Chains A and B, each alone.
Chain A
């Protein structure tokens, strides 16, 4: 029989859909839960998605419900701008050290926006994957939770910072904020730090860094989003004209021993979704999907069929060898069509690289992981949830997170 747990609190690391779900499921089963998020607001990768496959519904819809659940639940505490730097101990009795970076905006911020009005400098818009810029005092996005502004560290110590501070009628700006540390004693730790896009710059043959009209799948999500840098219009990065001939390249890094040896699972379906984005915007648009194998598991096969029924979407079983700049500056995709044996060189308005997912953070304690950096099993250590355990789609992440919540409940209840 295991010793009684010293703490009944559950620590959830990562405020994406996995972490949010794990935290809520545990809290709604009666646990005290602390949710730690590195960024300024919750939602993680899904908050930056335009829509979900196969229903083409908006992730913010589910997030809104989850945020309402969080607001209603007194057992769940959220810390943003925070990271876990150390974890010691074991199930029933963990000690975790948390560091909170300065946000320079206190909780009494009313999100009135006066600070942004006076901010003069702009910083890269992280929420839009740097596709645009935002004022140095900004709301991460319209759906942000907590609904609270952030001050870019760049301006904290500047005269601009002073004027921003002066503009805040409720005195919510604190330019002297310093990183703070605090320790938590918890009975279980759920590790839900999710994923980051595989760096497209590593795929030198695809010239992502050199060609403006070669973008990644996550950037495509922002281009298609109503609150994105182009207000939802899918435009070429080079000249701002509509992209009507688009190539979607699968396995850009995934299934590749030189990059990500595993399959990232979601890219095929995400690309079909992207094909729909383009087709919805232009009835005459042409979309070519380059693939090795189309991986539309279970009922998602229906989504594949839906796209197959569209004559304007072509399917090429081919891993493109390289992308070259065409005479007119358009990216030219080169390779061999393995079914026709034809060697092609096809120009496009826009090329979208379906870059895969890689785990974004490693637990700061001894943890069983596979060679790829995914958390496996949880005997005696942290409990992996969502994409921290492997490439999963949203449903499977929530499924995994709910399972992880049970693990936590078991650890603190026994």
Chain B
């Protein structure tokens, strides 16, 4: 059925009074010759909606273009079964931001419609990618508490599981522990280790296939179609992957300054856990220790070792101290700490340890000496003096945790651009006292991803495979692969169990969406995906390198190949392509460029400059909407073009704008670099990068570089952006009109 675009112009919310609607109709009729053009006093009302519905059902219209309020509102009202809808934002971004009945306001409204009508001509309904079979099995890597929980929970949700454990038996770090930190009220007593029961459950479950002494040697494919090869040679097809490789204790041999190695009676909290499990804690002379000191932050929160806080050490020491104190009330147990970290209900556990008679000393343990018994020299901040604590029978170092985001036993490999975020350094340059060396994980990749962008799952600067987003903790730069447990963030067992459930949910979610050819977060349900016209492709590799999610691989002939279910539909590839040969059914450089060109450019004598604002639709665009809601006014010379992400901004768009006579181009996007806020990881960073290269082009066009600029915009800038826009308009005015006008 051929496309029939209809124009529906609303007169409500003051649109009828502020704008010359008849003139708007004329644009639709005279310039675009639309078959159906209708106006209504309140389009979003039942009557207005019915009007559009009727035309759709009668087949008079296939694609309604609604000139009314922002596409961010009334979405439910303007939703029609299997019909796409386009919106021209005449309310928030025209009459609420510009004077009513004004010539420039009217011109803006007309251009808004021109852009929308033009977009309509380029818009095609996306056909989802659903080639071949989609797998529903989950691969869980790591047979510790996180992995076991994940496997068990996935089965409860109706999915089969392939559980891969590197060692000979299941259980991981917590195997053999008798008691763990309490997670149940009243949070005062160490609890029984839930692990044994869980291991039994998993081993008994037919839906879980366990591969012991196994590692993943190859991970190819994409969500719904991951091809897995294990070290035992077996191959498997899985839909999604949960990475639950946990953590390992920080290497205590690096803690010589705390006496490790000086005496067998200086041990780590992990070594003490083993002694506790054996039911008999003794020192080298076979006696039960009468005096024990725990040293907190052994390695953690130390720039020379681990810059971060390992989170669980305080609670673990409390648990071990309580166990020792309960075993023999005469034992003198000390915990040397700098900050006691028992967040939430765990505060009760702190009190329980105090009740048990454990003594807490705030201060740094400066050295551990081994003479007649051990002596820990503590800079006791509360007594205000240096205290020699001793003689001690046992010193326990609360060593922190290191994430198993790599396989320490595997040979190191070229990491790939995405392994670390070299641009992200959470530690302030100003702090001379605290300069941690960047953590470069040793060992090789765990999943051995057969991706153009390298074999690793990307991780943060501290080595944890965590999300960089606060509101989206399971965000990942490798679609379909979700980390959980201590490999993601230092966490205790209770939180790990919760985290494993969360990761499983995301895994079964991506499986469901992949099978539908639909995108996952943040453009959930988007059925479009990038198609590459190889005939025009120059094999420049920009798309394969710049994709924030590593969705595009390369063939032997170096042609790009898209893995659709890895794709998150940001369009960064399309923005990167120098020959605009990458396009989505409903989003392309051609479409954006045509919309840019659709705007009427008055000649220079009219003194009506035109400025193109390319705005990120996640932050800048809503901010401009809110400026309208607050009735902040700004120049009516701007023409706002929303994009999925600034990453999809192709330089050719800027060329087209300038050669088309725009006097200036402004990019509005999210904060790049440290604490980047781009929801496609590096879209705005890429845009910035590309912009740095445009000076040349401009020179060749004899244009001033100031005509193109980038503005960092957050969603909270509704008051600021109008000012910024007016300032820029003034600047462009001083530069003077674009010589290409009217050519």
Q: Answer yes or no: are A and B bound together in one complex.
A: yes
Min C-beta distance of A398 to chain B, whole Å: 5
Q: Which of A143, A371, A398, A409 contacts B471 (CB 8 A)?
A: A398
**A67-75, A159-167, A173-181 - interface stretch:** A67-75
Is B395 located at the chain interface by the 8 A CB criterion?
no
Bound CA span A169–B10, Å: 14
Task: List residues 69-116 of chain B with CB under 8 A from any CB of chain A.
Answer: 69, 72-76, 79
Chain A residues near B158 (CB-CB < 8 A) = 413-414
Bound CA span A21–B622, Å: 21
- CB-nearest residue of chain B relative to A256? B347
Contact with B along A365-406 (1 / 0, CB 8 A): 000001110101100000000000011101110111011011
Min C-beta distance of B152 to chain A, whole Å: 11
Chain A residues near B718 (CB-CB < 8 A) = 142, 226-227
A293/B508 contact (C-beta < 8 A), A301-B309, A395-B473 known: no
- CB-nearest residue of chain A relative to B509? A29
A309/B431 contact (C-beta < 8 A), A57-B671, A409-B505 known: yes
- CB-nearest residue of chain A relative to B310? A298
B524 touches A370 (CB 8 A): no
Q: Which of A226, A263, A298, A377 contacts B346 (CB 8 A)?
A: A263
Is A259 located at the chain interface by the 8 A CB criterion?
no
Interface size class of B (residues with CB under 8 A): 35 or more
Chain A residues near B178 (CB-CB < 8 A) = none
B509 touches A299 (CB 8 A): no
Min C-beta distance of A28 to chain B, whole Å: 5
**B42-50, B541-549, B597-605 - interface stretch:** B42-50
B474 touches A30 (CB 8 A): no
**B415-423, B441-449, B494-502 - interface stretch:** B494-502
A298 touches B186 (CB 8 A): no
Instruction: Please count how many residues in chain A sit with their CB below 8 Å of the partner chain's CB atoms.
Output: 92
- CB-nearest residue of chain A relative to B49? A108
B308 touches A410 (CB 8 A): no
Bound CA span A390–B718, Å: 35
B311 touches A261 (CB 8 A): no
Contact with A along B495-524 (1 / 0, CB 8 A): 100111110111011001100000011101
Bound CA span A373–B737, Å: 67
A309 touches B524 (CB 8 A): no
**B256-264, B461-469, B551-559 - interface stretch:** B461-469
Min C-beta distance of A295 to chain B, whole Å: 5
A299 touches B715 (CB 8 A): no
Min C-beta distance of B149 to chain A, whole Å: 10
Is B340 located at the chain interface by the 8 A CB criterion?
yes
B308 touches A302 (CB 8 A): yes
B524 touches A61 (CB 8 A): no
Bound CA span A30–B516, Å: 11
**A48-56, A93-101, A123-131, A203-211 - interface stretch:** A48-56
Is A265 located at the chain interface by the 8 A CB criterion?
yes
Is B427 located at the chain interface by the 8 A CB criterion?
yes
Instruction: Tell me what chain B mostly uses at the interface: helix, strand, loop, or mixed.
Output: loop
Min C-beta distance of A161 to chain B, whole Å: 22
B428 touches A305 (CB 8 A): yes
Q: Which of B185, B513, B521, B522 contacts A376 (CB 8 A)?
A: B185
A376 touches B184 (CB 8 A): yes
A403/B473 contact (C-beta < 8 A), A295-B343, A301-B308 known: no
Is B586 located at the chain interface by the 8 A CB criterion?
no
Chain A residues near B307 (CB-CB < 8 A) = 301-302, 305
Is B426 located at the chain interface by the 8 A CB criterion?
yes
Q: Which of A108, A263, A301, A392 contacts B342 (CB 8 A)?
A: A263
A293 touches B339 (CB 8 A): yes
- CB-nearest residue of chain B relative to A69? B524
Bound CA span A305–B303, Å: 11
Bound CA span A21–B427, Å: 30
B344 touches A262 (CB 8 A): yes
Is B618 located at the chain interface by the 8 A CB criterion?
yes
Min C-beta distance of A251 to chain B, whole Å: 10
Chain B residues near A339 (CB-CB < 8 A) = 381-382, 384
A59 touches B471 (CB 8 A): yes
Bound CA span A29–B511, Å: 9
Is B470 located at the chain interface by the 8 A CB criterion?
yes
A57 touches B714 (CB 8 A): yes
Task: List residues 1-29 of chain A with CB under 8 A from any CB of chain B.
Answer: 17, 21, 24-25, 28-29
Chain A residues near B619 (CB-CB < 8 A) = 61, 64
Interchain Cβ contacts within 8 Å, total number: 261
Bound CA span A362–B175, Å: 37
Chain A residues near B460 (CB-CB < 8 A) = 299
Q: Which of B72, B74, B501 has the most CB of A within 10 A?
A: B501
Min C-beta distance of A147 to chain B, whole Å: 5
Chain A residues near B505 (CB-CB < 8 A) = 25, 29, 402-403, 405-406, 409
Contact with A along B129-173 (1 / 0, CB 8 A): 000000000000000000000000100111000000000000000
- CB-nearest residue of chain B relative to A109? B44
B348 touches A110 (CB 8 A): no
B715 touches A60 (CB 8 A): yes
Contact with B along A218-242 (1 / 0, CB 8 A): 0000000111000100000000000
B347 touches A261 (CB 8 A): yes
A29 touches B512 (CB 8 A): yes
Task: List residues 358-384 of chain B with CB under 8 A from any CB of chain A.
Answer: 381-382, 384
Chain B residues near A262 (CB-CB < 8 A) = 344-345, 347-348
- CB-nearest residue of chain B relative to A338? B382
B13 touches A112 (CB 8 A): yes
Is B638 located at the chain interface by the 8 A CB criterion?
no
- CB-nearest residue of chain A relative to B183? A376
Task: List residues 421-455 of chain B with CB under 8 A from any CB of chain A.
Answer: 426-428, 430-431, 433-434
Chain B residues near A414 (CB-CB < 8 A) = 156, 158
A371 touches B185 (CB 8 A): yes
Is B525 located at the chain interface by the 8 A CB criterion?
yes
Bound CA span A396–B720, Å: 32
Is A170 located at the chain interface by the 8 A CB criterion?
yes
A298 touches B309 (CB 8 A): yes
Is A294 located at the chain interface by the 8 A CB criterion?
yes
Is B327 located at the chain interface by the 8 A CB criterion?
no
Is A281 located at the chain interface by the 8 A CB criterion?
no
A406 touches B157 (CB 8 A): yes
A402 touches B346 (CB 8 A): no
Is A364 located at the chain interface by the 8 A CB criterion?
no
Bound CA span A16–B343, Å: 22
Min C-beta distance of A324 to chain B, whole Å: 26
B471 touches A62 (CB 8 A): yes
Bound CA span A37–B342, Å: 32
- CB-nearest residue of chain B relative to A29? B509
A410/B156 contact (C-beta < 8 A), A65-B618, A402-B505 known: yes
Q: Which of B339, B426, B431, B714 contacts A61 (CB 8 A)?
A: B714
Min C-beta distance of A114 to chain B, whole Å: 9
Is B477 located at the chain interface by the 8 A CB criterion?
no
Chain A residues near B524 (CB-CB < 8 A) = 24, 28, 69, 72-73
Bound CA span A72–B525, Å: 8
Chain A residues near B305 (CB-CB < 8 A) = none
B520 touches A28 (CB 8 A): yes
**4 tightest A-B contacts by CB?**
A62-B471, A309-B431, A403-B501, A402-B502
Q: 21 A-B contacts, Cβ less than 8 Å apart?
A: A54-B675, A57-B675, A59-B471, A60-B716, A64-B622, A262-B348, A263-B343, A298-B490, A298-B491, A301-B301, A306-B431, A309-B428, A372-B345, A377-B184, A394-B470, A395-B470, A405-B505, A406-B153, A406-B505, A410-B156, A410-B157
Which residues of B come within 8 Å of A, CB atoms? 12-14, 42, 44-46, 69, 72-76, 79, 153, 156-158, 184-187, 301, 307-311, 339-348, 381-382, 384, 426-428, 430-431, 433-434, 460, 462, 464, 466-467, 469-474, 489-491, 495, 498-502, 504-506, 508-509, 512-513, 520-522, 524-525, 618-619, 622, 626, 629-630, 670-671, 675, 677, 679, 714-720
Supply 14 further A-B pairs (C-beta < 8 A) apart from A142-B626, A297-B311. A55-B677, A57-B470, A59-B471, A62-B472, A66-B471, A170-B45, A231-B719, A265-B344, A297-B309, A299-B308, A301-B309, A306-B428, A370-B345, A396-B495
